[in-house]
Structure 1
């Protein structure tokens, strides 16, 4: 653990006192605004009492600060995923998740040469959601065309191929995984 809970709790009282003083409030004024008696506030500021969630919520509301700031919680880091796009077989995969479990990608498939599509198989399930363009999905002996806002899910053991239905790039949200909830299919068979 990168921080000690005791250190965070020990620093709470002085932080609370500083917040009150910066706002030019007395203990009596803070007590009136929070509904917490002056004695309790004094003990919180002096470190003689540990705060409860109920007290923290009232204090954060009056001071107009997030709970993390009020208690001096450690920074949790940047939640954004910073992975680089990969181009494979003419398609650009933009990873939207970290490795492990279900993998999410934004997939860009540009129009390719007018050759016979090569159906492939692999383990798992695949979910596709069309963001832009028209997707042609060959799934076994079926052809399914999906437009923006339409989704499909299939077992990737079934021979399949994905590509644009016309001469424009198709943009997809794709989830690859071993198993999962079934997605609805709203597509036309041609």
Structure 2
């Protein structure tokens, strides 16, 4: 089973577990009903932005729809500027943390919508210079540097001076 099929199967299961119709999830996430239907059937390539919109409404981390990193599949999902490969998922009683190997394309900027309340992101830069975080107060981090921001508000990723490689930690606190 390929990435599209697995993501589609998992999205449909999560949607049904949440008791949401296709129409209701589409409405709440801002993703078109036709797009959602094609994603669930494995006929459409998922984008990072679309998957975040859907998993945020479902109250689940992005890793809930991606391949288990321990299975060795390591397929990435791309957005307008960022490609992310899930490399680890850790969960305890307080939070779920997804760990991604990310690449931000040279000269590109990606706007990311707000995630679930109290979600945070941290980027450790391996190479290049990233401009990330809240649009009104972006942080710049170079090789060996890091940035941390609240991801429950719109945020950005940029690579104004060449491709960036890094490790991104996304922490989703459990809701009460």
* TM score, norm. by length of structure 2: 0.48
Structure (1 or 2) with the larger CA radius of gyration: 1
Q: Which has the higher contact order (CA 8 A, sep 6+)?
A: 2
* TM score, norm. by length of structure 1: 0.45
